Structure 1
């Protein structure tokens, strides 16, 4: 089985679009569809068709391009069952704990509510790939718009349990701002300080900071470390419930 080809490129103001292509079958999926034009241009450049669209959640900047892409390519659209009625966009619906097959590969669906109640992530264990939308960012996480801090913390823990080598693709390029916040709450983390320098250099050159990996995020992302004693001490919350520590981190980031 040939390795998957993955193309990540900017869309809208700060979104990323991601195309995943299986050279054996010719199947190509876009993870979310922030805008149709840039995705269609990337497909044309590579002479790929579009067979599928995987939607992580209902927000407009992740589904705006779905109708046009479905019409142009007759692409199968898979999305979270909890927003199927609200969007009217999905040919197939999925929920946490379920799986389906794409290009001969198993795709596991992980429920990740918090940012929105319908949010899901797609995990391809054979290829060590996770597409997490707006739940987990490099050095950050999504705002808690619809769920509770407890739900978001549980979602982040579920992603944290994926294998360390898993490559993580996120919905936005927020990493530099996230790094600045992370350094402010976790100043003694040497791995974070080194990563922040690397991120600053990448952004100065106009290069993306994604994908990341689960291992890197576990070591440096404060939102995955709400149960870490060192971070709790830095926050003045030693021994606190991790969900409460997460809530405090998210509130500080919202004000940062």
Structure 2
């Protein structure tokens, strides 16, 4: 498990598939990512892994990790990435053999997390770090906010054809209850305005050509906060 917001849906899936829960990786301390941990630990006794720098406000950790370290999950390397911005202690987990990054509330489908504790510069550094992963990486983020994020993204880059197509596909998917998470990093790089803050096309759309990438990101994040 990567984050455990509440136990009952997780327990239902484990029981439906006759699965065992062996590890819980935590991205950050917010309640909607950790509230299910205690019950799951009591029921299944998994190992709990989280950021050492946030251990004081996470559930009890069996293994505390630092950005830059790797965790060996039964022969699968799990790389710990600094993902500060949404919170100062936020981490993400990249699993190369799975071709997936578990980004919590840092990089989201068509969005990024609100800056509750970190700075725009920290979040831009995080997004730049995540954008450097292979384009075919599957982005497993923490929330199904894609439809609302798409409506905002179109106000930032209305002439982005890939974004318009994704927004329409998202609306169709959500209308029939189909999830839009996970997504691919390539798709995020083509359509997510927060990840595209450094591109000439988006800067031109905002009349911010020549502005530093982190400043453009801060402008977009501030606009989303008021949207």
2:169 to 180, 193, 198: 198
SS in 2 for 1:49: coil
Q: CA deviation at 1:88?
A: 4.3
1:67 aligns with 2:67: no
Moved over 3 A (4+): none
Alpha-carbon contact 2:135-2:184 (below 8 Å) kept: yes
CA RMSD across the alignment = 0.8
TM-score, L = length of structure 1: 0.87
2:218 to 247, 251, 254: 247
Alpha-carbon contact 2:50-2:58 (below 8 Å) kept: no
1:147 aligns with 2:118: yes
Q: CA deviation at 1:126?
A: 1.5
**1:204-243 map, 5 Å:** 204-243=175-214
Q: CA deviation at 1:153?
A: 0.3
User: How far, CA to CA, are the matches of 1:88 and 1:132 in structure 2?
Assistant: 19
Question: Which protein has the bigger helix share?
Answer: 2
User: How far, CA to CA, are the matches of 1:34 and 1:62 in structure 2?
Assistant: 4
SS in 2 for 1:207: coil
SS in 2 for 1:222: coil
Alpha-carbon contact 2:86-2:114 (below 8 Å) kept: yes
Structure 1 spans left out of the alignment, 5+ residues:
1-29
Q: CA deviation at 1:127?
A: 1.6
User: How far, CA to CA, are the matches of 2:98 and 2:19 in structure 1?
Assistant: 20
The aligned residue for residue 72 of structure 2 is 101
1:131 aligns with 2:102: yes
User: How far, CA to CA, are the matches of 1:194 and 1:247 in structure 2?
Assistant: 26
User: How far, CA to CA, are the matches of 2:59 and 2:12 in structure 1?
Assistant: 25
Q: CA deviation at 1:89?
A: 1.9
1:120 aligns with 2:130: no
SS in 2 for 1:172: coil
The aligned residue for residue 12 of structure 1 is none
